[in-house]
Every structure is written in C-alpha cells, then in structure tokens.
Amino acid sequence: RVNGKSAGTFSGEDLVISKGLVGSSVEIEVSGQGPVFYFWQLDGLPASSANKETDQFLQVRRTVLNRAGQAVNLNAIRQGELLVVDLALTSIDRSSIENVVITDLLPAGFEIENPRLTEAREMPWIKEAATPDYFDVRDDRIHLFTTATNVTRHFYYVVRAVSPGTYVLGAASADAMYDGSYHSYSGSGTVRIFAP
C-alpha cells in the first residue's frame, strides 16, 4: 500500500511500482508461505551543487584544463571554448581494484567531443594518458571502465562550452561495479559560460 491505498498484489511475476513513492508512506503486507524480497531504488541529482564528497579505497579527481594544459576558472568560461577534462584515478589502499567505472556528469552547457567521431586534437603536453578498457559517451556524461592501481592514471577527454548560462556541475564518481564499499565522489560545483 502507498499512502494507505493498494498499489498492487504480487502474483508470481515481479511487481514494479515506479510512481508516487517519493515522500509517501509505503507498507508491505505478507500472507501465505515463502519469502518475499523487495528493494527500493532512487536515482537523481540534487538541485543544489553541494554534494557530499568522499573517498573509500578509491580517489577520483577532475581537473578542467585549457588546450595548453592550464587549469581554467569554471566561473569564467567563454562560449565556444574547447576544454580538456582530466580524470585522475588511484587506489588509496595501494591495491589493484578491477571493474571500476568512472562517471563524469557534465553541466548542461558542455558538449563532449566524441573521440569516436572526431580526430584527436594536438595536445603535446598530454604525455601519459591512460586508455580505459571501455568507454561509453552519453549526452550528459561519460563512463570510463578501468582498473584502479596505486599508480595514478589520467584519463582525458575534450568538451566544448556550447551554451551561455550558469549550470550545476555534478560530482565525478568512481565505483567498483561489484563492491559498493569501494567508491569516490568529488568535484561538484557550478559552471558559468559567457557569450563571446
């Protein structure tokens, strides 16, 4: 029951309730024999840019650079500017952690220059770029799949500032896919893009 009203009855097939749950009172009543298993999942980003930053066995850090390799002020970006994002990953406890996914959420004013569609840019200052085992580019994020070691690995990708405005920048995250106790979240804030 959700807020005292029936939301469905389990009949042998999975019962999925996906609407009206946030801020509601949910009750599960069991009758009959056999175990009942349930889980609750909530996804989303907070409206503010203040996210809890934490490192548990992993450490991921995001640095936004210009084409010359210098750190940029995220509150003074010009529309059309090409930027390089450096995601640095390391294992804090010096162990090798396999199956780590780094997720970098982009502010709405940025657009990824998809490396599968565009040629690599000339940036000779990038000396030891790590190559992920696999990567997945979306409209609003990039996922990099790799192994974390005691040696810091740097992953680079290119974005373009496309829309003027002030945007929330989500945290960069690193999670071990098969053990949630291994994770790192850092780098949330705001981005301001100005028209040229």
Task: Report the candidate in 22, 185, 5, 191 with the shortest Cα–Cα distance to residue 89.
Answer: 185
pLDDT of residue 80: 94
- Residue 16 contacts by C-beta under 8 Å, 6 or more apart in sequence? none
pLDDT in tens, 117-153: 555 567 888 888 999 999 999 888 999 999 999 999 9
pLDDT in tens, 99-115: 999 999 999 999 998 77
Strands 183-186 and 110-112: unpaired
pLDDT of residue 45: 56
pLDDT grade for 2, boundaries at 50, 70 and 90:
confident
Q: Measuring CA to CA, how many Å separate 81 from each of 15, 60, 64, 73, 126?
A: 48, 25, 12, 12, 19
**Sign of the dihedral through C-alpha 21, 26, 31, 35:** positive
Instruction: Give the pLDDT mean for 179-184.
Output: 92
